[in-house]
Amino acid sequence: MVARIYNFSPGPATLPYEVLEQSAKDMVNFQETGMGVIELSHRSKEFTAVTEQAERLLRELLEIPGNYKVLFLQGGASSQFYMIPMNFLGKGRKATYLNTGTWAKKAIKEATLFGKIDVAFSNEKENFNRVPSAGEYTVSNESEFLYFVSNNTIYGTQFHNLPKTEKMLFSDMSSDILSRRLDISRFGLIFAGAQKNLGPAGVTVVIIREDLLDRVPSDIPTMLSYKTHADKKSMFNTPPCFAIYIVGEVLKWLKNMGGIDAIARINDQKANLLYEAIDSGNYYRGHAEASSRSKMNVSFNLPSAELEQQFITEAAQKGMSGLKGHRSIGGCRASIYNAFPLEGVTKLVEFMHEFERENPA
């Protein structure tokens, strides 16, 4: 049997081993039904129980208030870039966006097709090396909402505090949902592609305040209306069944780990260990400013591109995969989501010190 490696990929990302083991069994015979979980009818009582459990656990772990709907949608998080403005802008309505990286830029591009968009902050000239502080931008009084990306996978930056505004918040939390405690009541809508902290690629979770569904226009395509999916409990069409099942299993695992507060402590430990290694000398340089450093994605550079490639190659040979940085900034990146084990970060740090000793700049 091939040994498990440490998968630092930004997504699809590592999953808890217990979840992989259980899903392998359920793939063949789900709860003694004589069918694999991917063969179940999405309208069967067995699969209805799967989706209900996933929603119940998500509500429990995130403490989602009762006046919010939980949706399991297809199309990836990128579909939300246009679904949000299609549902809530148009007819001269305005929204404020914070441009802190690639995914915010993509969302802004789509939003401008439907409404008036005020980009209140952008640090693209600094190659997105930080997120804004509270006093660096203002939110227009005419804005329906303030949109921001809570964690930037490419640049390794993260909002450690929610933006301060009286306006409701809309947020892409694809890469740090469930990693820390969150006040859901501050938000009108949260969405997250599953393939980083929730499960496999194929399902996007949307948490939406129920009263907002009354604002959805009736003249948009049926499949692109949040109201359609809320009214049908995510069953308007065949949902991404297997991905939803895995999300439920990941949520079970997280609850057994002790929930949000317990995983947040582990995430702090992993991130602190890695940033301490980066800060221990001048050999490694983090991309993000210290105040904006992500606890999920750590982007860093070595003294030269040649050394970076050698570092990535040798790390892979030692069972550490997925450390190549995004093509837009190069370098290296370690993604250390909820399911990534502490011992994997420890091994990486040991390798970093060893590599520096053996390959002086």
In sign, the C-alpha dihedral spanning 240, 181, 59, 207 is negative
What values do phi and psi take at 54, rounded to 5?
-60, -45
H helices, E strands: number in the chain: 9, 14
Query: Which one from 26, 103, 270, 324 is the annotated catalytic residue?
Result: 103
Distance CA(87)–CA(329), nearest Å, equals 34
b/e code 35-44 from CB counts within 10 Å (16+ = b)? bebeebebee
Task: Name every residue whose Cβ is closer than 8 Å to that of residue 82 and which is 6 or more positions away in sequence.
Answer: 110, 111, 113, 114, 224
What is the CB neighbour count within 10 angstroms for residue 29?
Answer: 12
Distance CA(195)–CA(243), nearest Å, equals 9
Query: Which one from 26, 69, 196, 324 is the annotated catalytic residue?
Result: 196
Task: Name every residue whose Cβ is closer than 8 Å to that of residue 114 and which is 6 or more positions away in sequence.
Answer: 82, 85, 86, 89, 90
Q: Are 118 and 96 in contact (CB under 8 A)?
A: yes
Active site residue 295: no
Query: Which one from 26, 69, 172, 176 is the annotated catalytic residue?
Result: 172
Active site residue 103: yes
Active site residue 172: yes
Active site residues: 103, 172, 196
